[in-house]
Structure formats: structure tokens, C-alpha cells
Amino acid sequence: MFSYSPLLSWIMTEMNLTYAQAGFILPTSILMIILFRIPWGLLSDRIGFKLTMGLAITIMSLSGLSRSFAVNYGMLLMFETLFGVGVAAIMPCLPKLAAAWFPHEKLGLATGIYVAGFSIGNMFGLGMTPYVLALLGDWRRVFLVYGLFGVVLAVVWWVTAREPTTNDPTSLMNKAKLNTSLWKDLAAIVRIRDAWILTGLLLCAMGSYDTICIWLPSILQLKGVPSVTAGLIAAMLPLGFLVASTTIGVLSDWAGLRKPFLWLLGLISGPAILAIEKSQGALLWGTVFVGGFCTMGILTLVLMILAELPEIARFVASASGWISSLANIGTLIMPVVVGYVKDVTGFFLLGVIMIAVISETTLVLGLMIKETGRKTIL
């Protein structure tokens, strides 16, 4: 998904695209994620995550591979649209799986493990794609290789994946189809105040992170950083994501609290993102890392809180689909806005300031959310 960022300049040159047009490639899949996460989540609560994710991974892999055959901008957007349809199912299924398999006191660790998968793929996409491109010599071949890997993954999933057989009360989420309707589930989610706060937190954190991922290589190249070095610096963003996903959940479990971690990460995220535009040398590497750590640390906490809210226990996948779907509106809009600002002003500075302000909003939202940890004193 994020291998687009290091390939954008080559795609733009071949297809004669503006920055605004290039900034819409990834948001095309995000639009499909927004539209299909809710249906995928509702489906997962009724037929189980094995079948749901199996179908989704197959769609994602075949459409991702097909991007290598795009001959123009319209065809590339079409394949990216199908890619987003498949990707949409992943987020709703994972909190459901973690809640079904792990006890409450280990939910942070479980969440950190699967969130680490996002960061590792993100880090490879940003950091290693320039090397893969140099080896293969063409951006289409890069998409072809990545697509073939996805096809293998789909086969492995169909052969090995199993539904959990837990008797934990949270397994009621697997029986949402009993005595309920799709509309009743959605109506129940809409009435939950904390679901809207979690939506706001995800929108600010994911929108900021994804927008930086898309434009960071271009920002670095305008600073005069060579493309390969720019890819390595950009990889600090998902490296921060990886470290956050493997530490924030565990530390939060140890402390028995979620909200103080939200406050701290929200406070630091805005200044860290703003510093990316003005930093040089080692400081630049550090600010990119901290920006990824803070924004995606918030994502980890949101997914933990989502799985812990008692009002949502019966339909975790549906709620996750609803919340993450609406939250991806930020990822849909923000990259295009930043690209447009760059087209108009010739600089990324105003766009980076916008991202920093939106990221800092997570501090305010973190003050409003309910504490779901073992120690509910806040």
C-alpha cells in the first residue's frame, strides 16, 4: 500500500500527473476503505473472520498485482479502487480476533503484535522499495512482485486460518447475528459517545500519519536528499510505528491505564511533525521517528480501548468497521489538500503545519475518552 510513496515521482513522470493527481492515488483506496469497512465488519460478525479475511486478502492481492498492468492514470485508479475494497476488511477483523483469543490483561500485547504487522509492511514499503526499484528497474515490476507475495499470503490464509473456540463472554461478538439486525447494530454504535471520540482520535492520528507517509519522500527530495537516502529516512516513520506498537500496549497493560498515554503522545505529536519540515541531519531522522511513534501509538491505544468497551463487546468487528471507516476520511482528504497547497505555493510548509495542528487535536480528544484499563480512576 505505501510502496506508492517512493514510486510517485516515476509514476508522475510517466503519466504526466500533477501533485494533486498523484496525491489522490492512495486516497482512492482509502475511499473504498471508508465505504466497505462497515459492510465487511458486519459480515465478519456474522460469518466469522476466516471467511471474511480470506475473501478480502484474495481481492487485495489480485488487484494489487494488477496495478503493474495499468497503462494510464484511469486504469491505475481502477485497480487501486479494488485494492481498497480488499484492504477494508482487515481492520474490522483484527480487534475481534484479539478480543476472542486473549484475556483482558494481555490485550495490549495482542494488539501490539498485530499493529506491528502494519508498521513492518509500512517500513518495508517506504524503506526497501527504492532498492527493489533499483534492482528491477521499473515501478510496474515492483507492484508485480509485491502482488505475487500477496497471492502467496492469500493461499496460506485459506489453508491455515482457524476461527477461535473461546468460551469467554466476549465470544458473544461472534453471535451478533442472533436476535439482532444490521441496522440495530449500527444504531447501537451510533448512540455510543465514546465511539465518536475514538473516531476522532483515529481520524487525526491515521490521517496525519498517512499523509506524512505519502509526501515525506517528496519533501525530503526537495531538501536535496538523494532518493535512496530519502527512502531510509522515510522508513523512520514506520520504525516509530513499530516501536510504538510493541511498547505502548505492553506499558499500558503494565500501568493498567490508557488515557495518560494518549495525553502524552498527543502532546508530543504536533511539534514532532512540524519539526520534520525544518530539521536537517540526525535531527531529521529523529523527528520522523518520533512523529511515527506518537501518531501510531495513539492508533494502538484506540484499538485496545475499542476492544475493551463493554458497550461494544457484542459487535467489535462492526464497531471497528464503523469507527475506522469514518476515521479514514482524514486519509482521503488530507493528502489531496497537502498536494494542492504544494501546487499553489510551491512549498510543503503550510501543509505540514496543517498536519501538525490536526495531530495535536488528539490531546484534547484523549481528555474526553473513558478510561478502560484495569485502574479506572481517570
Task: Give tens-digit pLDDT for 196-233.
Answer: 898 899 899 988 998 888 888 888 888 888 777 877 88
Rounded CA separation 142/135 (Å)? 9
Residue 84: phi and psi, rounded to 5, are -65, -35
Instruction: Judge contact between 231 and 126, C-beta under 8 A.
Output: yes
Residues in the chain, overall count: 378
Instruction: Judge contact between 89 and 53, C-beta under 8 A.
Output: yes
Q: What are the tens digits of pLDDT across the range 285-315?
A: 999 999 999 998 898 888 888 878 877 766 7
> What is the widest separation between alpha-carbon atoms in the chain?
61
Q: How far is CA 255 from CA 161, 163, 242, 261, in A?
A: 33, 31, 20, 10
Rounded CA separation 300/293 (Å)? 10
Split at pLDDT 50, 70, 90, the class of 143 is: very high
Residue with the bigger pLDDT between 40 and 49: it is: 40
End-to-end alpha carbon distance in the chain: 38
Q: What are the tens digits of pLDDT across the range 119-138?
A: 788 778 877 888 898 899 88
Split at pLDDT 50, 70, 90, the class of 254 is: confident
The pLDDT > 70 percentage for the chain reads 92
Q: What are the tens digits of pLDDT across the range 144-157?
A: 999 999 999 999 98
Q: DSSP class of residue 18?
A: -
The pLDDT > 90 percentage for the chain reads 19
Per residue, the 3-state secondary structure of 43-66, as one string, reads HHHHHCHHHHHHHHHHHHHHHHHH
Instruction: Judge contact between 270 and 357, C-beta under 8 A.
Output: yes
Residue with the bigger pLDDT between 182 and 334: it is: 334
Return the pLDDT at 170.
42
Cβ atoms < 10 Å from Cβ of 14: 14
Split at pLDDT 50, 70, 90, the class of 12 is: confident
Which of 147-156, 251-260, 311-320, 364-373 is predicted with the least confidence, judged by mean pLDDT?
311-320
Query: Does the pTM exceed 0.95?
Result: no
pLDDT average, residue stretch 34-59:
84
Rounded CA separation 177/47 (Å)? 9
Q: How far is CA 330 from CA 280, 284, 335, in A?
A: 28, 25, 8
- Nearest residue to 316 via CA among 132, 134, 172, 155: 172
Q: What are the tens digits of pLDDT across the range 62-74?
A: 998 999 898 888 8
Cell (9 digits) for 5: 510513496
What is the domain partition of the chain in residue ranges? Answer: 4-160+170-364
The chain-wide mean pLDDT, for the chain, equals 82
Rounded CA separation 84/114 (Å)? 19
Fold classification of 4-160+170-364 is: Growth Hormone; Chain: A; (1.20.1250)
Q: What are the tens digits of pLDDT across the range 161-189?
A: 877 665 444 444 444 444 455 667 667 77
